[in-house]
Amino acid sequence: MNGTVSARSTDNPAQDGPAQLGKRDRNQVQPQDQAAHCWYRFILSYPPHLVRDYLQRLNLTADQRVLDPFCGTGTTVVECQKQGIPSLGVEANPMAYFASSVKTDWSPAPQELLTLSDQIADASQRHLDAADRPLETFSDEAQRVVLKGSISPLPLHKTLTLLHDIQMQAPLTLAAHLKLALAKAVIDHASNLRFGPEVGVKKPKEDAPVLALWQRQVQQMAEDLAQLQPRARTAKLYRADARQIRSSLPPQSIDAVITSPPYPNEKDYTRITRLESVLLGFVQSKRQLRTLKQELLRSNSRNVYTADQDDRWVARHEGIQAIAQAIEMRRQDLGKTSGFTRLYPRAVTLYFGGMARHLAELRHLLRPGAQLAYVVGDQKSYLQVMIRTGQLLGEIAEGLGYELVGIDLFRTRLASATQEPMNEEVVLLRWSGQWPDWTYPYAMSAP
């Protein structure tokens, strides 16, 4: 155990594994993969074909079980279900958990879904046509949670009217699908949100055909269901914190892990789902938002709290501590004094400490010989100090008794601020089933 990367991909495609397949953008969803996957996705999601590549590379079959402990909007569990491989997903964000649950539920009859959506749209149109009806809007508390200007008053009124009619008329067997279709339609076409390196607000849309946009999304969902329904549901979802995963799942029940945790950067992942989280009732106040953030892996300065202790797990990791020190020195040199900027070094150590805590918990769930694939990316979000996430994660895993099999290059992207090439990689691990006979070397005290 020397803390070095034991294998890293070269420029030779024959040696690189499934990631190196041409020059096109590897992170795009291929047309043949869109069914269910595109019902709702994070802008930061990884593509279904990457999951499929590693299902094949790791020789996973229907007799085994795959876990995604950072499930997000369900790319791994949906693709496993398409391939007939049992899977489990763990996700702390309630909106993402909801989306994953819906995307793996292929039980609704397509025609029943369409017929009901037509009936609800007709009812909503009648309600919208009522001249004496005031504009529906969010409560004052909920309004303080969403980004200011996320959606204009008239599209919001139409959306809330439609949502009310879905809640009143749809049976439980169909309501979740109709709500997810509404979230997708609103975020993509009726809101004022724009998604790039960060989520922001663009020029307001004074109006939008919300009912027609929603029906179009339901139509696509019904077409997908007609294609997907012969396949049984093999995915099970849990809403839980990946750092406290042991209590949610049975011991030694996992054969493989395919996942992409948050990266150590300044992206507040809750901002990506803020509007739909409020719209569907998952977050209704700043207090609830704070509670949600405390259940997430610390990956940015906006979810760092005084009582956090995950950084103890990497207090003796020289590489991570050197990065934190370099960030602090750069902050002082640049004269940055904001509260969030001062938290940058701690955000980094909390992130890697949280990943160590997660990997330690995970050992209890893995069968001997379990194979793991973690999609992570290099980062320079913290004052342009380089963070080689994959290499550091590999070192942490080795310290916990995992074998570092290698690191594949998935793709190279350009940093938004500097246009510098940055690697996204797949860290490959194996769990032997043998607990190490040493104390975890990077902790301040034995975890």
Report the DSSP pairing between strands 366-377 and 193-195: unpaired
- 219 & 238 share domain: no
Best CA proximity match to 227, nearest among 33, 88, 30: 33
Final residue before a domain boundary, out of 228, 255, 280: 228
Residues 327 and 381: their CA atoms lie apart, in Å, by: 10
Containing structural domain, residue 331: 13-97+234-265+300-431
The CATH number linked to 418 is 3.40.50.150
Q: Under DSSP, is residue 412 helix (H, G, I), strand (E, B) or coil?
A: strand
134 pLDDT more than 80: yes
Residues 157 and 186 in one domain: yes
CA distances, 338 to each of 123, 301, 341 (Å): 51, 11, 5
Domain assignment present for 391: yes
d(CA 372, CA 210): 42
Structure tokens at 445: 């005290």
Same domain for 186 and 309, yes or no, is no
Pairing outcome for strands 193-195 and 199-201: antiparallel
128 lies in some domain: yes
- Domain C-terminal end among 175, 206, 228: 228
Same domain? 202 vs 347: no
124 & 80 share domain? no
Q: Residue written as tokens 């997660």?
A: 358
| Contact predicate 92/245, CB 8 Å | no
pLDDT digits (tens, 9 = 90+) for 236-286: 999 999 999 998 899 999 999 999 999 998 888 899 999 999 999 999 999
CA 8-13-17 angle, 5° bins: 60
Q: Which residue has the tokens 């760092």?
A: 304
Q: What is residue 200's DSSP assignment?
A: E
Q: Judge whether residue 11 has pLDDT over 50.
A: no
pLDDT at 19 over 50: no
Angle, helices 210-228 vs 172-185, to 10°: value is 120
User: Does residue 285 lie in a domain region?
Assistant: no
- Strand arrangement, sheet containing 66-68: 235-239, 87-91, 66-68, 254-259, 366-377, 421-431, 403-414
**Across the chain, what does the average pLDDT equal?**
91
Answer for the pair 273, 82: CB distance below 8 angstroms, yes or no.
Answer: no
pLDDT of 25 reads: 60
Buried b (16+ CB within 10 A) or exposed e, 408-440: bbbbebeeeeeeeebbbbbbbbbbeeeeeeeeb
| Claim to verify: residue 143 and residue 43 sit in the same structural domain | no
Is residue 124 situated within a structural domain? yes
Average pLDDT on 12-25 reads: 39
Q: What is the pLDDT of residues 394-433, one digit of tens each?
A: 999 999 999 999 999 999 887 766 777 889 999 999 999 9
Does residue 367 share a domain with residue 331?
Answer: yes
Summarize the confidence of residues 86-93 as an average pLDDT.
Answer: 97
By the 8 A CB rule, do 426 and 374 touch? yes
**Is the pLDDT score of 8 beyond 60?**
no
Among 175, 200, 228, give the residue marking a domain's end. 228
Using CA atoms in the order 197, 203, 209, 213, what is the torsion angle rounded to 10 degrees? Answer: -10
115 and 195 in a single domain? The answer is yes
Q: What's 296's DSSP letter?
A: S
**Same domain, yes or no: 244 and 382:** yes
Least confident span in 35-39, 354-358, 421-425: 421-425
Residues 242 and 372 in one domain: yes
Domain count, the chain: 2
Which tokens sit at 421? 């090439």
Report whether 185 contacts 217 (CB < 8 A). yes
Q: Is 260 part of any domain?
A: yes
Interatomic CA distance for residues 349 and 334, integer angstroms:
21
CA atoms of 114 and 376, how far apart (whole Å): 39
Q: Is residue 279 part of a domain?
A: no
pLDDT at 132 over 80: no
- For residue 371, the model assigns a pLDDT of 98
Give the residue from 396, 255, 380 showing the smallest Cα distance to 319: 396
Q: Is 376 helix (H, G, I), strand (E, B) or coil?
A: strand
Question: What pTM, to 2 d.p., does this model score?
Answer: 0.92
Residue at token pair 């989306």: 99
Whether residues 215 and 185 fall in one domain: yes
How far is C-alpha 219 from the chain's CA centre?
26
Residue 273 counted as domain residue = no
Helix/strand number for the chain, H first, E second: 16, 9
Where residue 15 falls among pLDDT bands split at 50, 70, 90?
Answer: very low
Q: Is residue 244 part of a domain?
A: yes
Whether residue 377 sits in one domain with residue 410: yes
